[in-house]
Chain A
Amino acid sequence: MTAPTATGDGLILETRHLTKDFRGFVAVSDVSLRVRRGTIHALIGPNGAGKTTVFNLLTKFLPPSSGAILYKGEDITHERPAEVARKGMIRSFQVSAVFPNLTVLENVRVALQRRLGTSFHFWKSDHTLQVLHGRALELLEAVDLAGHRDTVAVELPYGRKRALEIATTLALDPEMLLLDEPTQGMGHEDVGRVVELIRRVAADRTVLMVEHNLSVVADLCHTITVLQRGSILAEGPYAEVSRNPQVLEAYIGVAE
């Protein structure tokens, strides 16, 4: 797979010297990431390398100790999480993030609902939300969940929950998707399905994903950033990164 050619301002997300210090423990140290628009970019590294912390910094769930984050050229270092989400950068979570006691349809609908602009209207009937059902079903169709529209999300098997989560995320039509270990804890067939799904949705979007399943990353991602103990160890396409002796030592030895 060839990566789209990079131009000078082809970056959608950039971090500059990002550092996070938890009372003396430096979880993320001087990380400067450059994610090009339209690519699938992976963040890999052994356990404790700081992947999820970087993720939480990017989505503003954690404030950085120093450094800057630029999204589409705009400094978002001090924005609030909901604000970042509204700018088109949507994250997923490591543990599946569905709304457990809402139905499958309602899960997706909640994401669609914000655009109606009636989310504070406590005097309106919820029948007004039915206009969203068509779009919600389309999104569910795309992840093979339309047949489960009235199932309560908590009752779905794990792989399907992740699919629902992706459908919910896509409902926001994000420019940039941040996926936190999208294939974690999945069986083999489910992994294949989710990889296909990511490839499909990435056709007109940018994806940054944390992953430690190397085989997933190899086929799917244009650029791979390897983290170790909070710092960037190597960066580049899989073929290049996987030959890097430091990476081999630090990471491949850990994976199977």
Chain B
Amino acid sequence: MSTPDGVQESRAAWRLGIITPRRKRIFFGLLVVLGLVLPYLVYPVFLMNVLCMALFASAFNLLLGYTGLLSFGHAAFLGTAGYVTGWLLRSVGLPVELGVLAGTAVATVLGWAIGALAIRRSGIYFAMITLGFAQMIYFLAVQLPFTGGEDGLQGIPQGKALGFVPLHNPYALYYFVFAIFALGFAVIYRTIHSPFGHVLRSIRENEARALSLGYDVERYKLVAFVISAGLAGLAGSTKALVLQFVTLTDVHWHKSGEVVLMTLLGGMGTVMGPSVGALLVVAMENYLTGFGDWVTVIVGTVFVAGVLAFRRGIVGEALHLARNFPF
């Protein structure tokens, strides 16, 4: 797989001193402040939706942007974790934290099972194997009684964080979700910038060469896949908690496509790209509901126009622009 252009742009930005450790700290500091203030300015449920999808897309980008693997079945992890968390909170009555953790754990194990088979192939075959498994998960979600089938799994109680913070309060819930997002994002960020992340990058750049240097590339790909699946699961569990329901759309292949779209739109292989893409897509879906079925057409048009005009994705293009107009 060829290297995504966003990667080149982030590298250039580092090299040219557009991104420096200091600027990075300031940038993330500002983001945290913004994240803390924002629920008082914007509808919190919308924000939480964005955070969940941003985490989902960032987890996906760990594979696509940093390992060079295009998974076309990531909805399986999002949806499965959502169903597991929803069922555990509603029907078993587990505390919120445990419910979210359990959903994440199940997605991680599922990621290991699917990943172990899928990584034996690459390119389009890899994508199709992941899609095939995701379709099986979809089938299970339709058939199994606990998912509620076509009706979905509804009425998930939000409970109390740490046993005393009532999460039905939208602000409390928001900060809970924000903390989960920050944690998940930090894990992804660290993974990208770890010794392991450097090996992943070398695999993406030249798999045969990485192999000839003595790296068992399949094992590295599998670990990346499992981390990505687990964090996609964390996003799904959190989303179930936010919306209080899980439906078949969460395991449908549309969702797997949507996350590709968000990542490409925002800029694959960039740290912030998937989050920006998620914000854009969720915002369109939310604020354009008045257009009914036309939303899909509008989102599709924006995607096509975006990818044609901004080949590197929004963040990739922004970095490219900064390269030409250094500050």
Contacts and interface: CB of A to CB of B under 8 A. Distances in A.
A213 B219 CA distance: 39
A91 B212 CA distance: 6
Specify which of A91, A92, A98, A122 lies most central, judged by the most chain B CB atoms within 10 Å of its CB: A122
Nearest to B213: A111
Contacts of A5: none
Interface string B173-209: 0000000000000000011011111110110011011
B23 interface: no
A118 B198 CA distance: 11
Contact of A122 (B197, B206, B216): B197
Specify which of A80, A113, A125, A172 lies most central, judged by the most chain B CB atoms within 10 Å of its CB: A113
A78 interface: no
Contact of A93 (B7, B191, B209, B223): B209
A101 B8 contact: yes
A168 B277 CA distance: 37
B220 interface: yes
A227 B37 CA distance: 73
Contact of A119 (B191, B193, B199, B206): B199
A119 B213 contact: no
B154 to A, nearest CB: 37
B205 A122 contact: no
B290 interface: no
Contacts of A85: 211-214
B205 A100 contact: yes
Nearest to B224: A122
A60 B209 CA distance: 13
Interface string A121-159: 111111011000000000000000000001010000000
Contacts of B7: 101
Interface string B83-109: 000000000000000000000000000
A114 B215 contact: yes
Contacts of B220: 119-120
Nearest to A80: B216
B129 to A, nearest CB: 21
B227 to A, nearest CB: 7
B205 A120 contact: no
A122 B220 CA distance: 11
13 contacts: A61-B208, A80-B216, A82-B211, A82-B216, A90-B213, A93-B212, A100-B205, A101-B11, A122-B190, A122-B223, A125-B190, A126-B198, A129-B195
Interface of B: 3, 7-8, 11, 15, 190-191, 193-199, 201-202, 205-206, 208-217, 219-220, 223, 227
Interface of A: 59, 61, 80-82, 85-86, 90-93, 97-103, 106, 109-111, 113-114, 116, 118-126, 128-129, 150, 152, 168, 172
Those 4 A-B pairs whose CB atoms lie nearest each other, nearest first: A85-B214, A99-B205, A122-B196, A97-B209
